[in-house]
Amino acid sequence: MEREKITDRAHGIDLSHWQGKFVYADTWGQIDFAIGKIGEPYMSKDWIDPKFSALWDVGIAQVGIRGLYWYQRSGVPWKQQADKFLEAADKLSPWVHILALDVEKTNNTLNKNFFIDTKNILDYLMENGDERRVIHYTNPDILDNYMFPIFKNDPTYTDWLQKCPLWLAQYPYKPDPNGYPLTPKNRSTWDIWQYTSSGD
């Protein structure tokens, strides 16, 4: 059965343990890529989501372009998080194309040290990710009210924020896969736009 075309753009899905499972063959819409949450510190003994295999085996692994994201936590050494993420990605088959770092408020202290760690993790993934696409996953509030203001006097960091590949979570009142997000004040470009938090 041919899948329903939703947009001329590449169109994908974000998955986590909240979905429980993902069976690609049971879906009907356009899914050009799928990115799943693989872990975060303290999520389990080894920090890997124990429900991830239910998303990967018959789901994400079946999609043409596959990705993972890691939820950054404050107070945990950045390199330890980056190494756990890379180690988890390297164990998977088929190949993982995208590595994203999820930067949010929940369970985090949003201060300068936390965001320095964000840059360190993303730079490290870019250097050690075996040519995988690396992307910063966040929302306009984090960028407008935390990252840019904290580093407003550091052009090296703000220049990096302008150029780092961006997966922007911004949910309009009427989601439209052919529309455009309300971008942060200090950045107008984006690489992936997550336009809804719930799909069917």
Query: What mean pLDDT is reported for the chain?
Result: 96
Residue 53 one-letter amino acid: S
For 12-63, write each residue's pLDDT tens digit.
Answer: 999 999 888 999 999 999 999 999 999 999 999 999 999 999 999 999 999 9
For 132-163, write each residue's pLDDT tens digit.
Answer: 999 999 999 999 999 999 999 999 999 999 99
For 159-177, write each residue's pLDDT tens digit.
Answer: 999 999 999 999 998 889 9
For 69-86, write each residue's pLDDT tens digit.
Answer: 999 999 999 999 999 999
**Sign (positive or negative) of CA dihedral 16, 112, 116, 33:** positive
Residue 52 one-letter amino acid: F
> How is residue 45 written in tokens?
């003994």
Report whether 134 contacts 126 (CB < 8 A): yes
